[in-house]
Amino acid sequence: MKRFLTLIFALFGLHTADAETFTAKCKHVFDGDSFKAVKSGETEETEVRLYGIDAPEKGQDYAKQAREKLIKLIRNKEVRVEVQDTDSYGRQVGKVYVGKTYVNLEMVKAGLAWHYELYAQDAKDLKKAQAKARKDKKGLWKDDAPINPKDWRRDHKTDKADKQDEPTPAVAQEGSFTGTCTKVKDGEEFTLTTADGKALHIYLNGTDAPEQEQDPATCQAAKEKLTELILNKELRIVVNNTDSHRCYAAVHAGDIYINAEMIKCGLSWYSSLHAPDDAALKAADKTAKAAKIGIWAQASPQAPWKWRKQHPNL
């Protein structure tokens, strides 16, 4: 719903209820599209994400150059932030200016950030700047096939994906443990609260549900099914992998293996890349295909990872 509202506001040129403008001094630059600053007259730091752009991730080509460019533009300088939204991390998502210089636009002009079209469809200036940077082969556009940060995050399981639409950041934890599901994000991700009060962001390892823009009906059905299976229930978590705050795990509700259940219902694909040896997921995938249910009832279902590759700006 939040993403839908964000798009509506973007399409009609309106601001969310969080809209404001403030001045601040930049204290620290995280990467090519986010930083910390102290607002004028205050002492606490505020985190800011640049609206409408998406810079290369750490580990990607041009990530270092993007951060260095943003440092040059804003570090230790007074910036003006025109807030467009507040993301679920509590960060101000805004248009950033140093004097008359529109920083977001400068990053795209330099070929060191993509126009994040999903969250800024009406930003014709960013779209035009990207087209010119691409034509002139500036920055990341020097490569024949630069990888959109959103696709790179998905393939490398980083935690920055869809920052403007992520649940509250959580602590990562390894091993096996139990907890209660307190929030379901979609058909493959949820928040789990442990007995000691930790809020953990859990991803169903080895699954990949259709994207909202790809198949809204199945995406919603997957979320509803996962909610039915786990919300407010005690779960056993077996972590397969982690990043800075997310756990990729096998999830069990009593005797039910949730990951396999989502695939068996035809509401999620089996991601063999991330769970190549999981026999239960393989079997569930085979069962769903044979029964032609969910995604397999479609004439030519397309794997989400292939769809994302074909729609790099979404």
The residues annotated as belonging to the active site are 49, 57, 91
Residue 259's nearest CA partner among 245, 232, 243, 240 is: 240
φ and ψ of 208, to 5 deg: -155, 100
Residue type, 215: D
- Give the Cα separation of 195 and 300 in Å (integer): 44
Q: What is the largest CA-CA distance in the chain?
A: 64
- Give the Cα separation of 23 and 21 in Å (integer): 7
Residue 59's nearest CA partner among 154, 156, 142 is: 156
229-256 burial code (b ≥16 CB/10 A, e <16): bbeeeebbbebbebbebbbbbbbbeeee
3-state secondary structure of 234: strand
Distance of CA 309 to the CA centre of its chain: 15
Q: Which two tokens stand for residue 95?
A: 């248009």
- Give the Cα separation of 207 and 226 in Å (integer): 12
Distance of CA 105 to the CA centre of its chain: 22
Q: What is the DSSP letter of 312?
A: T
The residues facing 190 across adjacent strands are 184, 202
